[in-house]
Amino acid sequence: MEKVIAVVVTYNRQKLLSECISALKNQSKKIDKIFVVNNGSTDDTQGWLKQQSGIDFITQPNCGGAGGFNAGINYGYKNGYSWIWVMDDDGYPKEDALEKLLEEDEEELCMRNCAVLNKEDKKSFVWKTKNFKTIDEVNTRVIKNVCYPFNGTLLHRKIVERVGLPKASLFLWGDETEYYYRIIRKNKIPFYTVTDSIHYHPATAFTYKADWNFGTGWKMYYYLRNRFHILKSKFGKNIMLASIMYVGFLILFAGTIVAFQKTDKLKKLRFIFWPATDAFANNLKATPETITKRLTQKSLYTFGVPQTFIKNFKTFFSAGTHTAVVNE
């Protein structure tokens, strides 16, 4: 009999986590194991988890969502679960969400996703889903070629066996997209959204056009660096196209800084070269602490100069291109 494990990654959101766990425990299709990856939370998450029954958990140093999903999916795979149902702590599934996902009779080697709806109005899609704005407009049970990991995403172990795990070294922002492209592009695995399987999630609030605080905006490093890894996964062996697209992305991002940012424009423009240089050098060592430390230094010259970026760009093509492809 095929068993299902639900994997939830959490960090400092105990109240939201409890809402998610409650929804998982009340599924109409019983989940064989609920497994929580606690990314070193500093609130009362650890104590709360210890008091719960019917769930297993691990606590590890904070290694971002990427490290959390890497650990959780790896746990499910190594412990022999057939289906791995993956989600963040800030969303929760409707009571029949799993049952509806498993009703689909598509082959196992297919990535299935819940329809991700705004948890406030329970109707509008959180992300663009074909041309539909609300679930009331949908007239089909399955929307093919639409999937938003890791938000109620159901993976069969055969997918993990073929594709591997999310890259823990990406830390956050883009890790799920890189994994998504590795599944659907590199491995040609079909994917779809089951529209009567509902997962509620907060509306997205991030926009790169909004003025971001330079001193505390450490997440922006990962947003910029990880885009190159996403593009490499998306375009596969065409590393030249991925690189051109990445440079184009950086130029457009610089343009949004000039056009929309109100504070620290020069610092933000210089900052771009640091994650971009690390992207081409395949340097994945930066942590939130090291990023924050450099962001709070007074000198504008702590992020490298265009010559360093160009040097790494040339090195990537002259000596590192083949290695980068193999390491994917």
User: In this predicted model, what pLDDT tens digit does every residue of 242-298 receive, in sequence order?
Assistant: 999 999 999 999 999 999 999 999 999 999 999 999 999 999 999 999 999 999 886
- Cβ atoms of 233 and 151 within 8 Å: the answer is no
The answer, yes or no, to whether residue 124 has pLDDT greater than 70, is: yes
Average pLDDT, rounded, for the chain: 90
Distance CA 66, CA 37 (A): 11
Distance CA 208, CA 222 (A): 13
Residue ranges and CATH numbers for the domains of the chain are: 4-201 (3.90.550.60), 219-327 (no CATH)
The reported pLDDT for the residue numbered 326 is 32
Query: How many other C-beta atoms lie within 10 A of the C-beta of residue 121?
Result: 10
Q: Token pair for residue 317?
A: 């093509």
- Cβ atoms of 184 and 111 within 8 Å: the answer is yes
> Which of 148, 140, 152, 143 has the alpha carbon at shortest distance from 177?
148
The answer, yes or no, to whether residue 302 has pLDDT greater than 70, is: no
SS3 of residue 2 by DSSP: coil
The reported pLDDT for the residue numbered 107 is 72
The reported pLDDT for the residue numbered 206 is 67
The answer, yes or no, to whether residue 327 has pLDDT greater than 50, is: no
- Lowest-confidence region among 166-175, 273-282, 295-304: 295-304
Q: How many whole angstroms from its chain centre is CA 177?
A: 6
- Lowest-confidence region among 90-104, 165-179, 202-216: 202-216
What distance, in Å, lies between the first and last C-alpha atoms of the chain? 34
| DSSP one-letter code for 300 | G
